[in-house]
Amino acid sequence: MFHKRYRKQIPELNTTSTADISFMLLIFFLVTSSMDTDKGLLRQMAPLPQEHEQPRDINRDHVVQVTLDADDKLTCDGKTVSFAQLTDEIMTMASVNPSGHVVSVQADRATTYEAYFHMQNAIVAAYNTLRQRYAIDHYGKRYDLCTPDERAAINEHYPQRISESALQEGGSR
Amino acid sequence: MRPMQSMYRRRRHNVPSLNMASMPDLIFTVLFFFMIVTHMRSDEVKVRLQVPQGKEMQKLMNKQSVVNIYIGRQGDAWHVQMNGDLVSPTEIPARIEALRAAMAPENAEHMTVNLRADRHTPMGLISDVKEALQQSYALRINYSATELKKE
C-alpha cells in the first residue's frame, strides 16, 4: 500500500514561473525594439561639381523654377501655388519634355523642413503618377508590379531631373 | 455525519485547477514573433523631433548600410545627432569616412543616410548637413517621414 502511494505522486517540476520569465523577456523586447520600418523619400543628390566642369546651359523654357521663401510660400515660375498645383505643373512639364526639362529647386535658409519635405513629396508624386501611367499604357500593370527591367525602362523614359544648385541667369537665348 | 455536509465538503476540495502548462509556450511564441519582426533600437535619440508626413513613401531597405542623422531640438537650440552622438555639420565628412571604412564594401557602396529631421527645422541647417554629405560623397539620402494614407 505504501509503495502504491509513492508511485502515484511523481514529483512534478514547478513550471509556473516559466510564464513569468518569458513575459519578462517579451516585455524587454517590446521596450528595446522598434516595430516601425523606416519609411521616407529616397533621393539621390548630385555630386559636388568638379573644378573643370562648366555649368551647363539649359533653355529657360524647359526649366520649372520652384522656390520656397522664408515664410514657407511656394512659388512655381513666379506664381504662388499649392503643393497639388506644383504636382500638376511638373507633370505637364515632364510629360511635354520628359528628357529635357529641369526642375530647379531653391529653398530659403529660413524655410521650415516641413515645407521643403512637402515640396519634395509633390515633385515625387508628379513623377510617380507619370510613371504609373506609362506602366499601365505600355505594360498593362502597375509600376510596382513591373519587373526591374521594365522599371528601368520607365525610369529612363521619365527621368527625375531635379537640380538644387543655384541657377545663373544670362545668355541671350 | 450528515450526508449533506459531506457533499458540501467534497465540492470545496475538488476545485478544478486551470492547466497552465501551455502558457509558457504561448508566450514564447509571441516572444519569437517580436524578436523576428523587430530590430533593436541601436542608438538613443538625444534630440526631440517629429518627422513630417508624406504620401510617396518608400521603405528603407538594407539596414546595414544606413547611417542615421537626427536633427531636432535639445532645449532651445537645434542639434545634429549622428548615430550615437551630437555633432556639428562640419564634423560630418570625417565621421562618414570613418563609418564607411567600418562597413563591408558592398554595404559602403549603397550607403544611405537616413535623415530624421524635425518638421520645424530651418532649411539652413539641413542644407549645411546636405552639403557636408555631398562633400563626403554620401549621396543617397532618405528623408524620413511617417506615412499619410492616400485617399
**Domain ranges across chain B:** 3-37, 53-147
In a domain, A74, yes or no: yes
Contact status of B65 with chain A (Cβ, < 8 Å):
no
Check B120 against A116: CB less than 8 A apart: no
- CATH number given to B53-147: 3.30.420.270
Give the closest-approach CA distance of A103 to chain B in angstroms.
Answer: 18
Cα–Cα distances (Å) from B151 to A75, A81, B55, B148, in that order, read 25, 21, 10, 9
Give the closest-approach CA distance of A39 to chain B in angstroms.
Answer: 5
Cα–Cα distances (Å) from B108 to A164, B59, B103, in that order, read 25, 19, 6
Q: In this model, does residue A171 exceed pLDDT 50?
A: no
Cell numbers given for A47:
555630386
Mutate to test the interface with A, among B123, B127, B146, B148 (most CBs of A within 10 A): B123
- pLDDT of B107: 83
Mean pLDDT of B107-111: 84
Give the closest-approach CA distance of B10 to chain A in angstroms.
Answer: 21
Q: d(Cα B40, Cα A105) in Å, to the nearest integer?
A: 37
Instruction: Using the CB atoms, write b or e for B57-72: b if 16+ within 10 Å.
Output: beebeeeebbbbbbbb
Contact status of B120 with chain A (Cβ, < 8 Å):
yes
Q: What is the pLDDT of residues A57-69, one digit of tens each?
A: 777 778 888 888 8
Give the closest-approach CA distance of A81 to chain B in angstroms.
Answer: 18
The predicted complex's ipTM stands at: 0.72
CATH at residue A131: 3.30.420.270
Check A41 against B123: CB less than 8 A apart: no
- pLDDT of A2: 55
Confidence of residue A172 (pLDDT cuts 50, 70, 90): very low
In a domain, A49, yes or no: no
Percent with pLDDT over 70 in chain A: 86
- pLDDT of A173: 36
Mean pLDDT of chain B: 81
Nearest to A113 among B30, B126, B137 (CB): B126
Check A34 against B141: CB less than 8 A apart: no
The boundaries of the domain holding residue A76 are 60-160
Chain B residues in contact with A39 (beta carbon < 8 A): 57-60, 144-147
Query: Domain count of chain A?
Result: 1
Chain B residues in contact with A47 (beta carbon < 8 A): 134, 137, 139
Chain A residues in contact with B122 (beta carbon < 8 A): 109-113
| Bigger pLDDT: B12 vs B142 | B142
Output the 3-class SS for chain A: CHHHHHHHCCCCCCCHHHHHHHHHHHHHHHHHEECCCCEEEEEECCCCCCCCCCCCCCCHHHEEEEEECCCCCEEECCEECCHHHHHHHHHHHHHHCCCCCEEEEEECCCCEHHHHHHHHHHHHHHHHHHHHHHHHHHHCCCHHHCCHHHHHHHHHHCCCCEECCCCCCCCCC
Searching chain B, which residue's CA lies closest to the CA of residue A69? Answer: B123
